[in-house]
Every structure is written in structure tokens, then in C-alpha cells.
Amino acid sequence: MPDVAIALKNPVFTALPGLGRALVAAGKLGQKAAEEIFLKAQGSRNSFIAELTGSGAVSAFDLAHIMATSFAAPLVDMDAIDIHRLPKALLDTKICLSCRIVVLGKRNNRLIIATADPSDQSAAEQIKFSTQLGVDWVIAEYDKLSRLMDASHATAADALEQIVGEEFEFDEEVSEAAAAQDNEAGISEVEDAPIVKFLHKMLVDAFNMRASDLHFEPFEHSYRVRFRVDGELREISSPPVGIKEKLAARIKVISKLDISEKRVPQDGKMKLKIGPDRVIDFRVSTLPTMFGEKIVIRILDPSSAKLGIDALGYEPEEKERLLDAIKRPYGMVLVTGPTGSGKTVSLYTCLNILNTAGVNISTAEDPAEITLPGVNQVSMNEKAGMTFPVALKAFLRQDPDIIMVGEIRDVETADIAIKAAQTGHLVLSTLHTNDAPTTLTRMRNMGIAPFNIASSVILITAQRLARRLCPHCKTAVDISRTTLLDAGFRDDEVDGSWQPFHPVGCAKCNNGYKGRLGIYQVMPVSEEIQRIVLRDGSAMEIASQAQLEGVRSLRQSGLHKVKLGMTSMEEVLGCTNA
């Protein structure tokens, strides 16, 4: 005891970490040896415990058993821990690296943490401050702990390098102005090389998987990347949460957005070169959330607008009705459906058919998504005063033949578009309605006079996108006659002459589906339907008349695709109303 009392007056001894003092007090390490190891660790800028075990003064095995006994803490063999089962995002990686600890789990409001030095009070305080949780120490051998920690807590750059892979090559199209903005923002090109590679890998992978959207989503302790493939969101990657700021900044730089503005949503565009002669456009949308900016990127493949009308999935009679309408010299053709139902591709396909040297086509879009050579495309910019009504008024002074309005949102836009359709122009546009008949009553509710609706609208197409069954694994399934009739099949259609199919799933598809197909309700506005509109009839009356004229409802159109073996009953029931 006197030796200990003398030691306590030694300034070098009092500066020793708690681990060193504990070993001296327990008689497992001499005071002089502890002080020498401490001074050597300081000189080499190494940790005391690393110098202690590295010098052989105390083995990692002995140290772990001494600490377990001294602090009455359980001992764990880190070689028996499955690195892939370790919980993620319970504690900041920086704290784990600096304190040399590994989080093993959470019980109620306490974290179970493996450490070789339970005397480190500063580590416990950091953990409590960061997580507002208590700490239960578990003792581990320092060498085994370090190996596991180095494997499980890679830096953000290392983790991204592992995701990207050394063999990945990308072709980036970034302007000099964007590169200059990189420098102004203080983004290090060397430090962010993995960020650049990761972003471009995600974009290329999404394109190759035929995804329609990419979602970059930050949360409190995790970060998630999801792709929308065939209409369904799939989690693709969980990069380190620490990259969220740099990744958001990188996307903003390429999209020419304000990287300093993180409080309000922003919209932009960017391009990626795929191969020597293929460029893909991306529409970018940012949204401030509680834990960072969520970014959604929509893939706009120009080739999708050049697939041709046959590739969209119209039945022969539906295709004929649509082509007859768009070849009319004037009138309004409307495409309706929810967001993501393929309205833009349908409109662009029609414009491609009409786009000839002898026709003047102008479009007003918010924003212009796909570039069409030979078409005068105008993007809306409300801050600058470029709105749909302003653009349409300007179009009418530009000697147009065909006008495309991205969306009719208000009565002023609708009024100008209808006047254009009544004065010798073909007008194409979209509305957000459930089906074709309700589109006419929706326009009436917007305040448009029945006469103007009846005299201008010549055809309405309502559409949905359904997942297409994988041809490699789809399997015939028996469905009872009652179920088929309840779904909407007519009695004469359930005659046993066709076979429904069911999704199975294989290596070539996504849970039994591969790609999507259109389900359409193509309704010409006949003279009888015009009469119903003029007398302010209901959508039910319009729908009944359309049925008499041979127009399928969306459900009937989808069931026809089931008869053809193109999609499943579940898919049609899920995306259409009876």
C-alpha cells in the first residue's frame, strides 16, 4: 500500500490511463514499467493499450481476463462473433473507431458493447451523449477485438470502394462549371472519388435493371438506396450513413442545383453517357427530411419515346382509335392516369408519329423530360413568369399545327387549350383522373362550359401500367369460375378456351414478373357522348354509353391481358377498379 500511495504522488503515474493504474493496483504490472509504456505510447502517438499488448508486458489474453475479474464483466470470444450479424447504425462509426469498441446489441435502453478497456470513462460518456443510452461492457481480447472492428467498421471510402469494385469504369458528363462548383464547395476530388464512383454505379445499375426511379433516403442511423423496378421498390444498397452530405452535394453539382440550399425542395436534370452514342437523361428532385435530403432520380430514356405505338401494348382496335384521333386536323386528345402510369411516354410516342418536316409542334412541359429533335420544347419556370397559360398564348402566335401541354392544372390553362383545339390546332395533354368517363366530368367541375368540352375533346385515353409475367417461369393456375366472374369476366368468356397464369420467380425476373405493359381505356367522344356532356350528364351515363359503343373499361382491358397470358389476375385486380 505505501508503494501505491507514493505512486499516486507521481505526476506520470497520475496521467496514466485508468487501465494502467488498475493493472498497477492489481499487482499485474510494475509502476515503472507502466510509466515507461505510457511515455513510449505518447511518443509514438499510439494508444496505451496497443503499446501495452504490443510490447508483451501483458498479453491480450491475460489482460482480458484481468479486466473481466476486476470489473466483474462477462468475457466474450470475438472469434465466435459473426460479423454479418452485428447490428448496424446503433452508434456512430467515428466513436467506435476512436474508442476501439464494437457494438454487439441493444437491450431495452442500454447498449451491449465489447471493449478491451472498461476503465475508459471518456468512451462511456461519448456513447451516452451520442445515443442517450446506457452502456453494458463486455470484455474482449484486444487483438481479436481490433481484427473484428477493422473488418466491421470500414471507413466510408473503403465501404464504397467495396461496393463499387475496382473493375468498375464509368463515363461521366460534367461541365467545367459543375467542376468549378465542386471546388468552390470545398469538395476534395481525391476524398470523394468513391462517392463519384458509387453514384455512377448506382445510375448505371438502375439503367441496366430497367428501373424507373432511384431513391436515396437518409435516416437517423442508416442510409438506404432503392430502385423502382417494374413498379416495385427494391432495396439495393445500404452505404455508410456518413456519405449522405457528400452524395447529396455531388448529385446537386451535376444537376446544377444550389448545394448550399438544404431547406427547400429543388428540381434539376443531369445526363449520363452510356457507351459511345447513348446518353440518358435523369430528372432530379430533392426533399429536406428530418435526417438529411432525400433525393429521387427519375430515369428518362429517350429511346422509350421511340419504341413505337405497337410496343406500348394497345390492342388493335384501341390503336386504331388513337391513330385516327391524332391524325385529325384539330381537336383535343387527353391522356389520363395516376403518376407513373406512362402518360408521358404515350404522349411522346404520339408526337413522334406526328413529327414530320411539314408540321410545327410546340410543347409546354414542367419540366421537358425527353428531348425530341424537331419539336419546340419549352420548360415551365414560374419564378421567371413562364407558366402554362403564358406559354400557350405565345404558341398561338407562333403558327403552330400541334400543341402539347404537359398537364392541365387549372381552368385558365384548360380554357386556352380548348380555344386552341377549336381554332384549327391539335392539342395533346394530360389530366389526373381515374378513367376516361370521369375526365369529362372533371373538366366540367373545373369550370369549363359543357359546350366547349363537347366541341373540343375528340378522344380520351386512360391508362395503367401492370407487371408483365415472366415468360420463362410463369405457370398455369386453376381459378374457379365464380372467382373469374366476380373479377369481371363475362359468362361467355369463362368457357375454358384459355388458361390463366400465375407468377413463380426465377433468375431472369423479379418475383415472377419482367417488364411492364399498358392497360388502356380508349374512348372516342362520339356524338351521343357529346349529347350527354351537353346536358351535364354524369360519369356513369358516359361510361354506360361508352360500353354500348364497344369501349372496354380499364378492368376489362386488364382482364383481356389475363386471357392472353400476359399478366396475372392479381396484378390486374391490384391496379384497376371494377
pLDDT at 371: 78
Rounded to a whole number, what is the largest CA-CA distance in the chain? Answer: 111
DSSP assignment, residue 338? -
State whether residue 384 is helix, strand or coil: helix
Joined together, the cell numbers standing for residue 48 give: 496505451
State whether residue 83 is helix, strand or coil: helix
φ, ψ for residue 162, nearest 5 deg: -65, -40
Residue count (the chain): 578
Joined together, the cell numbers standing for residue 481 give: 369460375
CA gap 526, 330 in Å, rounded: 15
172, burial (CB in 10 Å: exposed 0-12, middle 13-18, buried 19+):
middle
| Residue 226: C-alpha distances to residues 39, 236, 546 (Å) | 51, 5, 41
pLDDT at 122: 82
Contacts of 459 (CB under 8 A, 6+ apart): 321, 322, 325, 331, 333, 334, 522, 523, 524, 525
Look up cell 428532385; give the residue: 285
Joined together, the cell numbers standing for residue 279 give: 446518353
Decide if pLDDT at 12 tops 50: no
pLDDT digits (tens, 9 = 90+) for 446-503: 999 999 999 999 999 999 989 999 988 999 999 888 999 998 898 888 888 899 999 9
Angle at 309 between CA 307 and CA 312, to 5 degrees: 80
Give the pLDDT band (50/70/90) at residue 529: very high
pLDDT at 305: 59
Joined together, the cell numbers standing for residue 186 give: 470545398
DSSP assignment, residue 551? P
Sign of the torsion formed by the C-alpha atoms of 554, 556, 562 and 566: negative
CA gap 283, 270 in Å, rounded: 7
φ, ψ for residue 17, nearest 5 deg: -60, 160
Give the pLDDT band (50/70/90) at residue 321: very high
pLDDT at 370: 76
pLDDT at 144: 85
State whether residue 50 is helix, strand or coil: helix
pLDDT digits (tens, 9 = 90+) for 63-104: 888 888 888 889 888 888 877 677 766 887 778 877 888 888
Decide if pLDDT at 534 tops 50: yes
pLDDT digits (tens, 9 = 90+) for 383-433: 888 888 899 999 989 999 999 998 888 888 899 999 999 989 999 999 988
| Residue 433: C-alpha distances to residues 32, 269, 409, 543 (Å) | 83, 27, 12, 14
Helices (H), ranges, 432-538: 436-445, 450-456, 481-487, 527-534
State whether residue 261 is helix, strand or coil: coil
Sign of the torsion formed by the C-alpha atoms of 305, 309, 310 and 314: positive
pLDDT digits (tens, 9 = 90+) for 37-68: 778 777 666 677 777 777 777 788 888 888 88
Look up cell 385529325; give the residue: 328
Asked whether 418 and 450 are in contact (CB, 8 A), the reply is: no
Joined together, the cell numbers standing for residue 10 give: 507521481
Bridge partners of residue 229, in order along the sequence: 211, 232
The larger pLDDT score, comparing residue 173 to residue 226, is at: 226
Packing angle of the helix pair 316-326, 343-354 (nearest 10 deg): 60
**Residue 159 CA neighbour count, 13 Å, CB half:** 16
Give the pLDDT band (50/70/90) at residue 6: very low
pLDDT at 494: 86
pLDDT digits (tens, 9 = 90+) for 504-526: 888 788 888 888 889 999 999 99
CA gap 542, 1 in Å, rounded: 100
pLDDT at 311: 79
Sign of the torsion formed by the C-alpha atoms of 124, 125, 126 and 130: positive
pLDDT at 268: 87
Single pTM value for the model: 0.65
pLDDT digits (tens, 9 = 90+) for 336-345: 988 878 888 8
From 289-298, 377-386, 545-554, the region with the lowest mean pLDDT = 377-386
367 preceded by a cis bond (ω within 30 of 0): yes
Q: Chain centroid to CA 443: how far?
A: 33
The larger pLDDT score, comparing residue 532 to residue 240, is at: 532
| Residue 22: C-alpha distances to residues 19, 78, 90 (Å) | 5, 23, 30
pLDDT digits (tens, 9 = 90+) for 249-293: 999 998 889 998 999 999 888 887 776 667 788 889 999 999 999
Decide if pLDDT at 207 tops 50: yes
CA gap 325, 183 in Å, rounded: 53
Give the pLDDT band (50/70/90) at residue 194: confident
Contacts of 52 (CB under 8 A, 6+ apart): 19, 20, 37, 41, 58, 63
Bridge partners of residue 299, in order along the sequence: 282
The larger pLDDT score, comparing residue 544 to residue 53, is at: 544
Q: What letter represents residue 394's amino acid? A: A
Asked whether 431 and 340 are in contact (CB, 8 A), the reply is: no
pLDDT at 198: 87
